[in-house]
Structure 1
């Protein structure tokens, strides 16, 4: 591979994964991140289906599994804490509602950073302010560093991507709200949960907790159904007020969890939205992960498609380093049909997680209660399991530095 000079924006999951692959292919990679250091907090994410094969090809499967959070299953409960339905992680081949690999977002970022930091120039505390495609190079200006030219620029800067806005205009044109909001924060494990998740629902809202960090803490979670957002996504105080108002009066353990929002170091709140773009690139500038095709947390595939997307994009750039626009076009053509299927699945997942009525909650709990007992229970999740595993990974190994040429 001709040594491409690549700039990536965003040190979440897709960015460091792409950086690691490109370094393996011999590229000169710079990754810029606006935060002053790697963010190690954040919600739990799942790695499903073909993304597990990507981990193996990256040689980081063992490291990711060592950093993951054990989770044996999930229970839906009523207001008195009585179990109404249970799902286990060993059902559905590890690709059911409880995934085989669940890891804190920050832990996955840390593994990817540790594996790539010796081969990638990480620049924290800076951001891209402009990127101009000049045909043979992209001229980039930064908030702090001097301007510089690159062969390729990739935005991996998440749902609210600044680089995407530079390419395709305001995010209001491309973000599609699914009618659900989600919040996460770390709290005390006051129930003494052991490698388990517990979820409680009332019409239009759901709250739960999942043991993490060796069962010393829990990741608290709230979802609720509501219309289009009217707040500033950067205003954390406003977000906390919304969460408290929407969860006010909830039963079960809601009050205990909500009382810890202000002391949580990693409070997160946002819409469950999807990104829909006419294209994922323009010339030598492209997007990967949530910036290009966020499927929303409701899909359960955010980290999965970030890892697979990074693998495919890096491989296509390695295949034709002298045709960067063509590599971007092939990457999109390969992935878009699979991504579309995952995005479409999110609507049903949202209804199951946060039913609108008491009858809907009872129906969901009943289906879950039967799932472990009915013959042919695998059929209940067959569509999701197939979707998680249906993308055929191409083999780019011949482009690895030091690989033999065929």
Structure 2
């Protein structure tokens, strides 16, 4: 279906370029505005699974994603004696590692490369104001430019400024009581290809994950009331993390020492976006801006990819944007709510305060990693190759 409509997308991360890819396929003219002066290529390990895997296969980028695999072979829980207490290889029924593990920045590069010839990228700029009119949207940019578009889509993340311009305070950030810091640190000769998860006392968790760049991706997580740590300066955030790492054990000292030299430390509070609606007039939202499920779900990237695919498909299938936005939400919201419905006790249940609590969790992990339990889980696990039927969501076919 050929369309003459031009669309502005705010955000050049995952949801934005994925949406642009599909809109171009359907005949739209697409501009992506990105606040950063260039692509944001940092970030941690993410995975693409379920219906999202089918989407990237349709986009013909699955091979590129697989070729950029981090090389992670599975998840290990490390005990207080610094030894593995439970191992979940990626082939196991119970594991945290998926077939398509990739660094976020690598996926951003792949999506950019697949769209840059057909999409106008406008870096180092952002949306300052939006004026909706009956047949168009008038947009003023921070650069001073004023342009009109038929549709505007917010795909600029959990703290979307575009969302706030249109939806105000209606969408709610639901804080989950957890802060997480991410950073890249040098790789040591004793590092492995396992995702290593270390539970420390006083409600702290340390993780090390391999990448395909010769470094390691480290994270430090801790339970805490909402104290606005994400607003601190970079230096103050590093000082805070050093205090949180004192006495944690395992690789805490190594991570603490690496903080001063790391230039990609990112500390944020963890939560979900709950929005009663995803569109107003000619403006809609997709990805984390609309329905961030939090890193605890492990589905943020996958949900962004699926959401972008569905939104583009509904816009192509319907004669007007109002019907398309309604269909997009009706199709996707049940899946979003399922993904956002975290297991009871998450996250506090895996952040014990005492050594006894840590030992108990590691013991349970060892039981679940045992061969008898893994075999039992395999018996009841679906071996279906149809990615569109995983997770209770049927991926629509818009062809």
TM-score normalised by length of structure 1: 0.90
Matched with 1:207 is 206
Matched with 2:21 is 20
Matched with 1:197 is 195
Matched with 1:392 is 394
Matched with 2:231 is 233
1:123 aligns with 2:91: no
Q: CA contact under 8 A between 1:178 and 1:273: conserved in structure 2?
A: yes
Matched with 1:400 is none
Deviations 1:247-296 (A, max 9, x none): 22211110111211222232111111100011111011011000000011
Shift of residue 195, structure 1, vs aligned partner: 2.0
Q: CA contact under 8 A between 2:167 and 2:280: conserved in structure 1?
A: no
Matched with 2:66 is 65
**Which of 322, 330, 337 is matched with 2:334 structurally?**
337
Shift of residue 346, structure 1, vs aligned partner: 6.0
SS of the aligned residue for 2:259 comes to coil
Shift of residue 19, structure 1, vs aligned partner: 0.8
Write the mapping of 1:26-175 to structure 2, written as runs, cut at 5 A. 26-92=27-93, 96-170=95-169, 174-175=172-173
Q: CA contact under 8 A between 1:42 and 1:104: conserved in structure 2?
A: yes
Shift of residue 80, structure 1, vs aligned partner: 2.7
Shift of residue 170, structure 1, vs aligned partner: 4.0
Cα distance between partner residues in 2 of 1:348 and 1:333: 29
Cα distance between partner residues in 2 of 1:360 and 1:387: 38
Deviations 1:200-245 (A, max 9, x none): 112311002111125x211001110011233453733332233222
Q: For structure 1, which segment, 148-157 or 350-359, has the greater mean C-alpha deviation from structure 2 after superposition?
A: 350-359
Count of equivalent residues: 390
Cα distance between partner residues in 2 of 1:342 and 1:258: 33
Cα distance between partner residues in 1 of 2:106 and 2:321: 32
Cα distance between partner residues in 2 of 1:312 and 1:325: 15
Q: For structure 1, which segment, 15-24 or 76-85, has the greater mean C-alpha deviation from structure 2 after superposition?
A: 76-85
SS of the aligned residue for 2:347 comes to helix
Cα–Cα, structure 1 residues 59 and 272, in superposed 2: closer, same or farther, change >3 Å?
same
Matched with 2:185 is 187
Q: CA contact under 8 A between 1:182 and 1:224: conserved in structure 2?
A: yes
The runs of 5 or more residues in structure 1 that have no matched partner are 398-406
Matched with 1:264 is 262
Matched with 2:376 is 376
Shift of residue 59, structure 1, vs aligned partner: 1.0
Cα distance between partner residues in 2 of 1:218 and 1:63: 21
Cα–Cα, structure 1 residues 239 and 396, in superposed 2: closer, same or farther, change >3 Å?
same
TM-score normalised by length of structure 2: 0.92
Cα distance between partner residues in 2 of 1:137 and 1:258: 51
Cα–Cα, structure 1 residues 323 and 110, in superposed 2: closer, same or farther, change >3 Å?
same
Matched with 1:402 is none
Q: CA contact under 8 A between 1:89 and 1:96: conserved in structure 2?
A: yes
The CA RMSD over aligned residues, in Å, is 2.2
Cα distance between partner residues in 2 of 1:326 and 1:356: 51
